[in-house]
Structure 1
């Protein structure tokens, strides 16, 4: 068997546009937008309002063309293998049409040996407009309700390409995953699907494509254990047992050992890495159990990391996953408006012990179940359930995002009448495919979902809940009114880092409106969300800082609330980890990969051990494998730092549990709510809480000493408080776009110090690093 990639010599053209040159160099894998950008024909779609100026690209037809040489070889078959075509494609080889596609989520294989010529061969891939295709299907089948006035339910394509409340409308086309020629004889391994068990058993399911009916020998090897059998048909199963197999665990619960598995069929060979573990879902409580151990999910939602996915490299994913792991995250939910992600995505999750919840790609709309969609959905689901069976990190398949809630609660039923909307996919087709191809993993019909079609889907008392009254209407303190079993979505907006905003906007000077804002009434909600927590900003600098602080506080408030309810509540999945472009959004890491203050707050809120005030009590959350014991020090102080009352309580918090400690009256009730605070400390855990909102607290004018000195890789900035310092932060990206800092939003009591490590290659002055607007705190004197 031989494989030859066809990634060189491509050109891009369009018959529709006289303004585009007859032939533009094209990168494969890639897409039209990135090719036009590289050729200097368009400006960066992510800057200013270029998104709107480039809408024509999605309504245009495009042709990719290449010429390659080929010589006859000894093999019987040669197939053109297309791992990803986006989306409405017609393929022609040497003037002969070989196939048509209309599904970005599938791969395709076309037999082409009979069309190949000795010498030069021409391959063209013509892409029709995704808009034209989807609108034609919509007209034929009847409109369906959805969150956006776009036709994404009528085409099997990344839905958020058509725009979302955090993403641009940039409708792509192109050869977005590898393409090449595969030659083979006799038989090939069409599918290898290893299903593992925690006891070291792996059942290797194999599907064979063959040109001969002669018997074949199938073999498999793992950890020195081998098995083989004769194959007469087109399906086979080999079972192997690894003695004393080490178990794969989520991060924070153990190690992530994996084993190399090799499967051979004649000349065909397949290699993969597998891990042994079990996963179960308690459907009533919505509790994930791995290897018999219940796991509290400290999760984040994952959206496509770029509107142009071919740009997302393994290195970029590794950076993003490293940011997730460093924030204490143990699960990524691959949201249903995006993609089945790349092999690198799941391999890195396996490596780091990051669990993966995988939505099937359906989101926020009623989807038609008629042909050709049903067959396309079945084909893509079969492909990816089989492909991803290798990965121990994948622990849940979910049918959709918010479509069950939309049908029940958003008025869809009146609009739909008797038209299909996707129920057959979520309750019948998809679960049957998962049960057939991978019964080792649970399936859940959608999120939010309460466990049965007749139940209200977004009931906090059962299944999964999405909480969006906070942000849209309610103050973030409303999270305290919830007692959910599992929160699969909740979040709060904040702007991107200053350097990200500065790169994305040519506005002079920058204003709040300089940032992309796609949410309905988003700017007003940002200001309304400050509520009584923070002042209304009078300058851009204050707007940027206050809204970032408020985002961090809001999400941390929710995470702490829900973690304090463990084990009744067994998971939180924050919306969202990442962005696909520079935008004001709910992300913790912005579109230029910079960590927002939310990321630092999330790291604290998702720490193994957490002190949090809940319902007038101190909740001690211990999600570590060892008990948390010691003396809990409670001090009521004046904002000047003076101790007013002290209490010491001996505590023991068992592993994976929560203990609540009632505050003694001497520290529970302030003499002056506006002039006092509570500090708590248990070992390395620390809490500083106020008896009133910041706008009602008599915060003293900030007084401190700050100095910066050179250190390895940048600067060491030491801040020593001589007064209370509230939400102290350093923003070095204002001085160097490549600079970063190791901590943010620290509250210091008088006499305390904080050391910040700033990473930068530039020469910066101490005055720059310790002056406004780089160094900020809420009670700073105004410049």
Structure 2
């Protein structure tokens, strides 16, 4: 079988030049521009200079016309006479976004209408020996969605955002392309994976999937092969993995064929998530006639434990190879609003950033896409667990036969495509769809109608197909929910299942409200911040560096976002001085909110066994809940996460007039440690010290001591508490203000700085005269990562920080752009 890719340079032109004239006269003068496939149409227009980058300023508003127009992408390709002899020519397209007619040599050979499906068309009769042409005719997804809305017997409501495209829930494309409360409305169009033309003699492989199960001697591997044949024949099939092998001779019938291979494998190590062992992977080689398929397998079991001897029923604990995992991580949104910019290296870097912050789980959120292979392969290699939502979010959806049919086809492609990845440990039906029934007037008024629609889609289609195709992997009906067989949205219920706790952000409750709930698994909660100064410079000129300027407000997609951030400044902090300090303090505030929630919930194990904050990344430069800016620069939250997600951690929290001291230990090894608890004045004077020598069991929380704030020999606003955990190999610190920072009389720390050069970056040594809090180092636009940041500094101990650069620059340049900010200086 010969395979040709049609990747490369195509031509791009509007279907109707007149429709583009109000926005550009370019196509009136020139019929087309070059376009790269795989890629998206917006990116090609930007590269040709026809539109500006909509990430800059408010240019997003002026680019909406692109998504409302139809487009033609075309090219020519050669076919030799030998290619057509005795073969069928099969054209395969995946990640086609979204409504596209496929034309070969003037003949329509098929059409696409779902970004998440694989499309295969027989174009044999349309091809000729010599030069051939192919056209992809894109219809506006917005117009297609509007046309679908006219067919509805009753409204199907959905969440809308400041800049939004209507009826996004009626079209099977990335839902966030239509705008979200952190992302732009840019209705991307294009083909985001390779287009292949295969000349097939006998048939094509539809899927190869494996199931691994433990047996007495190791593991049993069962391989299912689905093959679509154009004629009868026979094949030799075989597979090898580890020390196992299997072969078979099979007869081929015209149409669908299903074959299987079985083998036992003994000499393999199990795949374990990062922090709990090694993510061992083994090459699997499957031979189907002359076709070789290769991938890597991880041997592991997974289940969700819902009943715990200590925590009781209703839990949500992931167990991998029999070991219960405390899941620590964040939610993942699409890497970029423009699919052309979703490069493999960016995937690898972001996921490495997650690992470096001591995360072990990523949730692929349901308003984006079933990710590219490089995402899942990287998670396999790094030992990151993946919570995989199906692609439905914050809306009602139709339950018509046509809609359910395309969803079924989508899942029958995506589940076999993904299920061999050991990193994926959960299929979840949707994001917040069941809870959303209570959001809209239509669904509240006619609740039964929308519950039936929900059930037909989520249980009757999505859940049914997941359980049929992948029975060995847990199914979870919705996030949040109480689990299979229940209809509970868990917005304000922490008794069972996973919980989305948004009362602090959306309802304006204080950060201490995180102490009022103990989710069994907190799969969404978050707090916003602004990007750094260098992040803001990616979308706003300096004259717009004011939080209420048009551009700054445009790059805040949550309608009350800036107001909430500023209101909490006044609740907890002294108001910052100047624009840069406002950005800094917003990141300190965000990190504090997540630190309070996560550290407290970690002390509540085994009742709480997972925290995934919202969100890891941004898909354009914006104020958001992310811990990593669009550029890849770590916010202060990500540095804080590296600390509060550490496997072993001393924790201080203040609740009901008492300060509680705990040690959490996620490892499987008990530790004997020294815990030093000190109370210091803000000038550094030590008021008291107590030492404890707890024995901390593995995979546990250990309460150490508690203090009544009223019994302390100092006013809360005059001092802070510092805890230090030490063993032979560990030295870990944490601290706690006993009153709101705004009430505390901080001293000028007078931080001194020394900078040196290393082989991979720079070293910065900091010292102070008085305690410095929330010390933040920022290298401006110099790309790189500090090994530590967002820390407290004591006069008795200098701190040395390394900055690993991603580009060469002289020490003088680094010193010029390095800024150091702390809580005291931010309000001066």
TM-score of the pair, normalised by structure 2: 0.91
- State the partner residue of 1:179: 195
Larger CA deviation: 172-181 vs 525-534 = 525-534
- State the partner residue of 1:350: 380
Distance change (3 Å), C-alpha of 1:312 and 1:186: same
- Indicate which of 39, 46, 51 corresponds to 1:42: 51
1:769: how far off? 5.3
Matched, 1:705 2:738: no
- Indicate which of 447, 453, 476 corresponds to 2:486: 453
- What is the alpha-carbon distance in structure 2 between the residues aligned to residue 682 and residue 653 of structure 1? 12
- State the partner residue of 2:281: 258
Distance change (3 Å), C-alpha of 1:239 and 1:705: same
- State the partner residue of 2:157: 145
Larger CA deviation: 131-140 vs 739-748 = 739-748
Matched, 1:414 2:445: yes
- What is the alpha-carbon distance in structure 2 between the residues aligned to residue 237 and residue 768 of structure 1? 63
- State the partner residue of 1:194: 210
Unaligned runs of 5+ in 1: none
Larger CA deviation: 760-769 vs 304-313 = 760-769
Matched, 1:775 2:787: no
- Is the 2:238–2:287 Cα contact (8 Å) retained in structure 1? yes
- Is the 1:177–1:310 Cα contact (8 Å) retained in structure 2? no
- Is the 1:203–1:237 Cα contact (8 Å) retained in structure 2? yes
Distance change (3 Å), C-alpha of 1:10 and 1:293: same
- Is the 1:489–1:573 Cα contact (8 Å) retained in structure 2? yes
- Secondary structure at the residue paired with 1:546? helix
- Is the 1:158–1:361 Cα contact (8 Å) retained in structure 2? yes
Q: How does 1:277-316 map to 2 (within 5 A)?
A: 277-283=300-306, 284-316=314-346
Distance change (3 Å), C-alpha of 1:503 and 1:117: same
Distance change (3 Å), C-alpha of 1:20 and 1:379: farther
- Secondary structure at the residue paired with 1:470? coil
Cα deviation digits, residues 517-567 of structure 1 (max 9, x gap):
000111101111224321223421221111111011111111111111111
- Is the 1:636–1:667 Cα contact (8 Å) retained in structure 2? no
Distance change (3 Å), C-alpha of 1:295 and 1:767: closer
Q: How does 1:9-158 map to 2 (within 5 A)?
A: 9-14=9-14, 15=16, 16-18=19-21, 19-21=25-27, 22-72=31-81, 73=83, 74-141=85-152, 142-148=154-160, 150-158=166-174
- What is the alpha-carbon distance in structure 1 between the residues aligned to residue 183 and residue 626 of structure 2? 12
Matched, 1:423 2:455: yes
- State the partner residue of 1:210: 229
- Indicate which of 592, 596, 605 corresponds to 1:557: 596
Larger CA deviation: 632-641 vs 162-171 = 632-641
- Is the 2:379–2:423 Cα contact (8 Å) retained in structure 1? yes
Cα deviation digits, residues 281-323 of structure 1 (max 9, x gap):
1243111100001111002100001012232121111111110
1:225: how far off? 2.5
- State the partner residue of 2:769: 722
Cα deviation digits, residues 116-142 of structure 1 (max 9, x gap):
111110100000010010011112113
- Secondary structure at the residue paired with 2:315? coil
- Is the 1:471–1:529 Cα contact (8 Å) retained in structure 2? no
- What is the alpha-carbon distance in structure 2 between the residues aligned to residue 566 and residue 542 of structure 1? 37
- Is the 1:188–1:268 Cα contact (8 Å) retained in structure 2? no
Distance change (3 Å), C-alpha of 1:509 and 1:218: closer
- Indicate which of 593, 609, 617 corresponds to 1:578: 617
1:762: how far off? 3.0
- Is the 1:8–1:66 Cα contact (8 Å) retained in structure 2? no
- Is the 2:157–2:440 Cα contact (8 Å) retained in structure 1? no
Cα deviation digits, residues 563-585 of structure 1 (max 9, x gap):
11111100001100000000000
- Is the 1:637–1:645 Cα contact (8 Å) retained in structure 2? yes
- Secondary structure at the residue paired with 1:245? coil
1:216: how far off? 3.2
- Secondary structure at the residue paired with 2:37? coil
- State the partner residue of 2:560: 521
- What is the alpha-carbon distance in structure 1 between the residues aligned to residue 738 and residue 711 of structure 2? 9
- Is the 1:145–1:416 Cα contact (8 Å) retained in structure 2? no
- Is the 2:242–2:268 Cα contact (8 Å) retained in structure 1? no
- Is the 1:729–1:743 Cα contact (8 Å) retained in structure 2? no
- State the partner residue of 2:472: 440
- Is the 2:649–2:732 Cα contact (8 Å) retained in structure 1? yes
- Secondary structure at the residue paired with 2:206? strand
Matched, 1:3 2:3: yes
Distance change (3 Å), C-alpha of 1:474 and 1:497: same
Distance change (3 Å), C-alpha of 1:705 and 1:767: farther
- Secondary structure at the residue paired with 1:244? coil
1:425: how far off? 2.0
- What is the alpha-carbon distance in structure 2 between the residues aligned to residue 559 and residue 75 of structure 1? 63
Distance change (3 Å), C-alpha of 1:250 and 1:638: same
- Indicate which of 241, 245, 270 corresponds to 2:293: 270
Matched, 1:625 2:668: yes
- What is the alpha-carbon distance in structure 1 between the residues aligned to residue 804 and residue 698 of structure 2? 36
- What is the alpha-carbon distance in structure 1 between the residues aligned to residue 490 and residue 752 of structure 2? 54
- What is the alpha-carbon distance in structure 2 between the residues aligned to residue 45 and residue 708 of structure 1? 38
- What is the alpha-carbon distance in structure 2 between the residues aligned to residue 431 and residue 376 of structure 1? 15
- What is the alpha-carbon distance in structure 2 between the residues aligned to residue 193 and residue 366 of structure 1? 32
Larger CA deviation: 59-68 vs 168-177 = 168-177
TM-score of the pair, normalised by structure 1: 0.96
- Secondary structure at the residue paired with 1:68? strand
1:75: how far off? 4.7
Cα deviation digits, residues 466-507 of structure 1 (max 9, x gap):
011111221222101111101000000011122121121124
- Is the 2:89–2:199 Cα contact (8 Å) retained in structure 1? yes
1:410: how far off? 5.5
- What is the alpha-carbon distance in structure 2 between the residues aligned to residue 395 and residue 491 of structure 1? 23
1:224: how far off? 4.2
Distance change (3 Å), C-alpha of 1:632 and 1:520: same
1:666: how far off? 10
Distance change (3 Å), C-alpha of 1:58 and 1:186: same
- Is the 1:408–1:456 Cα contact (8 Å) retained in structure 2? no
- Is the 1:732–1:741 Cα contact (8 Å) retained in structure 2? no
Aligned length: 779
- State the partner residue of 1:656: 699
Larger CA deviation: 14-23 vs 398-407 = 14-23
- Is the 1:646–1:666 Cα contact (8 Å) retained in structure 2? no
- Is the 1:58–1:172 Cα contact (8 Å) retained in structure 2? yes
- Is the 1:11–1:25 Cα contact (8 Å) retained in structure 2? yes
- What is the alpha-carbon distance in structure 2 between the residues aligned to residue 133 and residue 223 of structure 1? 49
- What is the alpha-carbon distance in structure 2 between the residues aligned to residue 84 and residue 523 of structure 1? 36
- What is the alpha-carbon distance in structure 2 between the residues aligned to residue 417 and residue 634 of structure 1? 57
- What is the alpha-carbon distance in structure 1 between the residues aligned to residue 359 and residue 11 of structure 2? 42
- What is the alpha-carbon distance in structure 2 between the residues aligned to residue 51 and residue 630 of structure 1? 55
- Is the 1:769–1:775 Cα contact (8 Å) retained in structure 2? no
